A and B are shown apart, each in its own frame.
Chain A
Amino acid sequence: MSKVDTLTLAGASPQYLAWLARERRGQRVVRGTQLAILLVFLVLWEVLPKALIVNPVLTSYPSALWPTFLELLKSTPQQASILVHTWATVLATVLGFTGAMVLGTAVAATLWWWNALYKVLDPYLVVANAMPKTAFVPIFYIWLGATLSIYGMSLAISVFITILMIYSGFQGIDPNKIKLAQTFGATKGQILRKVVLPGSVPTLLAALKVNAGLSLVGVVVGEFQSANLGLGYLIQYGAQIFKMNIVMTGITILAIVSSLMYLAISWLETAVMRRR
């Protein structure tokens, strides 16, 4: 079987070259369209308020964001720098989803170990997962105080879905792989460490993706209520004093933070899955 090196393309058939060109053109069209959508959005956001078709007080403009951002960078006695706010939000999010991953994996492993425990707890887990966790924001504030309540919400919002996802991943391991380990006399602990956990890495990554997004939601909603720091707080503050520039800058930074988180997880996924 002859294989053509994509880098040099020496000896490639004209049909292959044509196919390759079509593929690349297709890719460019997709990227171009994606970029165009973003541009149209930004232009409309800039032009519609400027033309007073929509009320600029309600929407602000993209061009107003950068000066606002520079303004917010400075820390004043009344207001911490936006970098400090961003850091607080990122820290709480990372702590939340990391905690949810660790706790979720531990609980899922315990449930896998004692199937009877899973049978007992199953309905409670399903209900706990379906509950709108953000309803607990005020209670968490009373119980845990300003900072810890944010961390608590960040964890609480993602831990139940993590448990359920990882547990079902554990259940999905091919029973024949477990049987194989048993034929060598594997103990339950060995089956967990050598078959179930390594076999569930794709599930763990999927849980992490869901998790990170949810934790960010938990943090922002928590900050609306209880914090004097964080992007959620900044957005809430901006809305109260009716400064849309602050609100929109905060939201834009949130969008950037969640994109970066998504990229980091995708990178991790590629790095881990390269071995598979």
Chain B
Amino acid sequence: MAAPAASPKVELRNVNLRYFGIEGETEALKDVSISIAPGEFVAIIGQSGCGKSTLLSLISGILLPTGGAVLVDGKPVTGPNRKVGYMLQQDYLFEWRTILENAVLGAEIQGADMAKASARATALLTRYGLGQFLHHLPRQLSGGMRQRVALARTLCTEPDIVLLDEPFAALDSQTRLALSDEVAVILRRERKTAILVTHDIGEAVSMAERVIVLSRRPGRVKSDHAIRFAAAARPTPLAARNAPEFNDYFNTLWQELEVHVEG
């Protein structure tokens, strides 16, 4: 495991999670230990049902582990944390709110200064090319535009850590490539610590500098890969797809996942 130099931003120590239901209990995560450095962009891949999304819920504090500890900035997570922003699989924009009103939702819930939040959201939306849609309703926007509003909503509360739960899964493939490129660039520029959950190997390799593979349920860390490109500067995700190393990483990870299909 690549040991981060600085004290970790996010740390999972022997985390266990069981879901309880009338029909029985499900072990979703077993003995998961991951350490993520400040500013790192990590992707977590695994097959559906391996507990990837559960991992994000634990880091965001909306779910607490049944065993082990989750730490953000060295402090145990006991509930939702303002340092953590969460982008869900779909935009879940509120259809009764305008774009701007949607973007300031988090700030509003957290009781932040609304004048500042509005200004920040306006700036973010304008930067994402949505300046003329501030007072439109979500249904008037395309899927890609809506997901950009969701990104603005996440970043408006100024989190240090951004959790991305397959945030492009609902988009068509062109929009998906373009938007994942945009999002990776934005998050790197703002030096956010980012954790992306996906089952798309290409997306993981092109966006993240580290890819963690989870085993099938109960999810455990199967392997941990540093993604390095020979180019001096880290290529953008779209450029990374053309880099010679891309296919090697892709094939390695593909085999890692394949093993679980057979075994």
**A residues with CB within 8 A of B:** 174, 176-177, 179-186, 190, 194-195, 198-199, 201, 275-276
Contacts of B196 in A (CB 8 A): none
Stretch at the interface among B104-112, B181-189, B213-221: B104-112
- A-B contacts, 19 of them at CB < 8 A, read A176-B89, A176-B92, A180-B88, A180-B92, A181-B105, A183-B85, A183-B88, A184-B105, A184-B157, A185-B79, A185-B80, A185-B81, A185-B82, A185-B109, A185-B110, A194-B108, A199-B96, A201-B96, A275-B96
Q: Is A194 a contact of B92 with CB atoms below 8 Å? A: no
Asked if B206 CB lies within 8 Å of chain A CBs, one says no
Contacts of A186 in B (CB 8 A): 109
Q: Is B96 a contact of A176 with CB atoms below 8 Å? A: no
**Chain B contact patch, size range:** 20 to 34
Q: Is A182 a contact of B62 with CB atoms below 8 Å? A: yes
Q: Is A198 a contact of B62 with CB atoms below 8 Å? A: no
Q: Is A198 a contact of B96 with CB atoms below 8 Å? A: yes
Looking at the assembled complex, report how far the CB atom of A185 sits from the nearest CB atom of chain B, in whole angstroms.
4
Looking at the assembled complex, report how far the CB atom of A3 sits from the nearest CB atom of chain B, in whole angstroms.
15
Q: Is the interface of A mostly helix, strand, loop or mixed?
A: helix
Q: Is B92 a contact of A276 with CB atoms below 8 Å? A: no
Q: Is B90 a contact of A182 with CB atoms below 8 Å? A: no
Q: Is B94 a contact of A184 with CB atoms below 8 Å? A: no
Please, what's the 1-or-0 string for B73-94, where 1 marks a CB less than 8 Å from any CB in chain A? Answer: 0000001111011101110101
- Inter-chain CA distance A276–B140, complex, in Å, is 10
- Inter-chain CA distance A194–B109, complex, in Å, is 9
Asked if B134 CB lies within 8 Å of chain A CBs, one says no
Q: Is B92 a contact of A183 with CB atoms below 8 Å? A: no
Given A198-B94, A276-B137, A276-B139, the answer on whether A179 and B109 have CB atoms closer than 8 Å is no
Asked if B95 CB lies within 8 Å of chain A CBs, one says yes
Asked if B193 CB lies within 8 Å of chain A CBs, one says no
Contacts of B94 in A (CB 8 A): 177, 195, 198-199
| Residue with the greatest number of chain B CB neighbours at <10 A, chosen from A184, A194, A198, A275 | A184
Q: Is A181 a contact of B139 with CB atoms below 8 Å? A: no
- Residue of A at shortest CB range from B86? A183
- Inter-chain CA distance A184–B92, complex, in Å, is 14
- Inter-chain CA distance A186–B86, complex, in Å, is 13
